[in-house]
């Protein structure tokens, strides 16, 4: 996919996204609370969006600041976030995270990528999503959808999400950085699926190299 094709493809996706469900972390970001974005990102790992959304809603009724979170008992958090994947491990991670935020960052979520990556349990995907959705700053969040689709388009040629992030930081115009994850996640969840993507319903099929696609609907 060349630069002209990318621009046109993203233009089509901006229209299509209005008809698709909003990714859960994007929806939560409308509250303009970086802590809530960070927590939801952690809950979302290896977990379906619908489960993450319900778990986040239950948890944020109990607490939406690090200070309030530490007033809870672990059993309360476990009950609230179940059945997210690894809910017990994530409960421990969240308690440890809140203690660090209070002790080292005055209860605030860091705005810098390097500082976020120092937090235990926070990887590049979560850190970048917190920066872009929590603070509205430049970042490139690469999850499995972004990695898969960027390679399927032929826009990058990489073997892992981390490699894809590096490649996109070099190649993708900065004006697309903040919206890229939201557009491709929605596209990947609804049309450009991992197996048997809905190419017949895809409005940008002619711009796609379909690399690695063995069969489509």
* Cα–Cα distance for residue pair 25/11, rounded to 1 Å: 22
pLDDT of residue 93: 98
Q: How far apart are the first and last CA of the chain?
A: 21
pLDDT of residue 31: 83
DSSP state of 132: I
* Cα–Cα distance for residue pair 16/24, rounded to 1 Å: 17
- pTM, two decimals, is 0.92
Beta-carbon contacts of residue 25 (< 8 Å; ≥ 6 apart): 37, 40, 41, 44, 52, 129, 133
pLDDT of residue 34: 97
Mean pLDDT by runs of 10 across the 217 residues of the chain is 91 96 92 94 95 97 97 98 98 98 98 97 96 95 97 97 97 96 96 96 95 91
* Cα–Cα distance for residue pair 176/100, rounded to 1 Å: 32
Helix residue ranges per DSSP H, 118-172: 124-129, 144-153, 161-171
Domains of the chain and CATH, by start = 3-21+141-207 (1.10.1670.10), 24-134 (1.10.340.30)
Neighbour-count burial of 87, counting CB atoms closer than 10 A to its CB (0-12 exposed, 13-18 middle, 19+ buried): middle
pLDDT of residue 107: 97
């Amino acid at each position: 996919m060349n630069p002209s094709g990318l621009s046109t493809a993203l233009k089509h996706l901006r229209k299509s996204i209005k008809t698709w469900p909003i990714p859960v972390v994007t929806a939560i970001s409308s509250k303009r609370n970086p802590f809530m974005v960070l927590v939801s990102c952690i809950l979302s790992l290896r977990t379906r969006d619908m489960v993450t959304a319900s778990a986040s809603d239950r948890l944020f009724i109990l607490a939406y600041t690090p200070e309030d979170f530490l007033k809870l008992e672990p059993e309360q958090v476990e009950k609230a976030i179940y059945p997210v994947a690894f809910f017990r491990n994530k409960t421990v991670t969240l308690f440890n995270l809140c203690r660090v935020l209070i002790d080292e960052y005055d209860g605030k979520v860091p705005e810098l990528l390097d500082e976020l990556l120092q937090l235990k349990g926070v990887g590049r995907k979560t850190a970048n999503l917190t920066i872009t959705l929590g603070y509205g700053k430049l970042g490139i969040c690469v999850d499995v959808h972004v990695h898969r689709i960027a390679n399927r388009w032929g826009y990058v040629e990489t073997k892992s999400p981390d490699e894809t992030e590096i490649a996109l930081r070099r190649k993708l115009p900065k004006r697309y950085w903040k919206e890229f994850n939201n557009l491709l996640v929605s596209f990947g969840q609804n049309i450009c699926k991992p197996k048997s993507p809905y190419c017949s319903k895809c409005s940008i099929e002619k711009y796609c190299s379909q690399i690695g696609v063995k069969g489509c609907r």
